[in-house]
Amino acid sequence: MSLLEIVNIHKTYTTGKVETPALRGIDLSIEKEEFTAVVGPSGSGKTTLVNLIGGLDTADEGKIILEGREITDLSQKQLSDIRLRDIGFVFQAYNLIPVLTAVENVEYVMLLQGVPREKRREISRGILEEVGLGDLFVKRPNEMSGGQQQRVAVARAIASHPKLVLADEPTANLDSKTSGDLIELMQRLNRDKKITFIFSTHDRQVMNSVRRVVKLKDGMVVDDGKNNPDK
């Protein structure tokens, strides 16, 4: 069974009387432990697709099935539960909570899950060590570089052992060296922790590092990447 099945997904945005199709009949299958990029020009539907997979937006038509469970018609509460337990997010703008330290940001999802304080603190410290930030436990976001903030965001995304991590332009605000280091980190997490990653990206470094590139154009899949050689 695939981790993720996307079946005939359509999404149109309406502004006043103007309708703008974002996705037009997307079909896509993602296996467990994939390391995949969704690419395409601006307006091709990359971010819309990632948002639909993550339950941050809803489709007009079609199905999204996560590990055998259709999530397309779930309530907002049910989608919140799935995001809390099954899906991690890494955003272009980091989206860390400014008043929290690095370790508190990583703990946050586990706090919402009801994990006891001592256990979530232990897990968070361990993950920050893993991503190379063991000396920044008590630093707040404004005391860290962009690359360090994004590493905290990755640590937060994997803290609850999600089935899937969605990374929307995660390297867009980073220089090439920092981007390369971040990509290597996520490759290691994919390999060692068996976490599935899906990227939405314009970054050639990311495209060259993934094992599969799915190409979108005008809201449609023009190449599903199945013929890409394994890396």
Residue-wise pLDDT for 162-188, tens only, equals 999 999 999 988 889 989 999 999 999
Q: Is 207 exposed, middle or buried (0-12, 13-18, 19+ CB in 10 A)?
A: middle
The closest of 93, 87, 59 to 74, measured between CA atoms, is: 59
State what percent of residues in the chain have pLDDT above 70.
98
Rounded mean pLDDT, 202-215: 94
**What ranges do the domains of the chain cover?**
1-86+164-181+195-224, 94-161
Would you state the pLDDT for residue 42?
87
Query: Residue 171 forms beta bridges with which residues?
Result: none
Would you state the pLDDT for residue 43?
87
Task: Please give the residue that has the higher pLDDT: either 3 or 227.
Answer: 3
Q: With 90 as the cut, is the pLDDT of residue 231 above it?
A: no
Would you state the pLDDT for residue 44?
92
Rounded mean pLDDT, 127-156: 92
CATH homologous superfamily for the domain 1-86+164-181+195-224: P-loop containing nucleotide triphosphate hydrolases (3.40.50.300)
Q: With 60 as the cut, is the pLDDT of residue 196 above it?
A: yes
